[in-house]
Every structure is written in structure tokens, then in C-alpha cells.
Copies of this chain bind each other. A is one copy, B any other.
Amino acid sequence: MVETFAALAEPNRFRIVELLRSGPRPVNAIGERLELRQPQVSKHLKVLKEVGLVEVEPRAQQRFYALRPEPLRQMNEWLERYRQLWESRFEAMDEVLEELARQEEEEK
């Protein structure tokens, strides 16, 4: 999970992911679209591949990179555990106070 965040924390990598959302693309196409040098693109793709955010499919001498949904699905699952935090916000005040009380006890 942290690894996925790390991969997406790099602006250019994030842009690559966003671009791939519209479909698989070869390295060069990505570079031209995002105005990145080819070596950088390859390096970023390598990182994305290592965390499973991307997969490759050779096509002649070019390689098409495509998004892999798994890490995103996991991120979604992770987020689910926080969902209650933003749903039911009307009880915000109550919760704060409640938490402060609870906190005093389990303190250390």
C-alpha cells in the first residue's frame, strides 16, 4: 500500500498513470504526450511495474504498457476503512468530545 503511494507520489509517474487510464500505450507515445525523455519514461514505468500498477505486452519491437487495476482496488479497500470518517459528518462535534474522553483512559 505504502509502495503504491510512493509510486504515485512522483508527479510524472502520476501523469503516466492518468494517461494510461485511457488505454495501453507504447513508451514513445507516453514520452511524446507528456514531454518526457524516453529513458525517464522507461525508468518510471519500471517503478510502476514493480508495484504492479502497470503491465507490459510486447508488440513487435515496442512494448505496450497498460494499467493494472489490482493496486487501485486495494487502495479502494484501504479507503473503505476510513469511509465512516467522511460520511455522517453531522456528528462531528460529538465524536471529537467522545474521542477525547476515550483517549484519556487508554492513554499510554
Most buried by B among A21, A72, A83: A72
The reply to whether B82 and A79 form a contact with Cβ atoms under 8 Å apart is no
Task: Establish whether residues A96 and B57, one from each chain, have CB atoms under 8 Å apart when the complex forms.
Answer: yes
Cβ distance A82 to chain B, nearest Cβ, rounded Å: 5
Report yes or no: A9 in contact with B5, Cβ–Cβ below 8 A.
Answer: yes
Q: Measured between alpha carbons, how far is A69 from B103 in the docked complex, in Å?
A: 19
Contacting B at CB under 8 A, from A64-98, are 64, 66-67, 69-70, 72-73, 75-76, 79, 81-83, 85-86, 89, 96
Complex: how many Å from CA A57 to CA B92? 14
Q: Are A79 and B75 in contact, CB atoms less than 8 angstroms apart?
A: yes
A-B CB contact pairs (8 Å), 20 listed: A5-B5, A5-B6, A8-B9, A9-B9, A21-B81, A21-B82, A23-B102, A23-B103, A24-B99, A25-B103, A26-B103, A29-B103, A29-B107, A67-B82, A72-B86, A75-B75, A75-B79, A76-B76, A76-B79, A76-B83
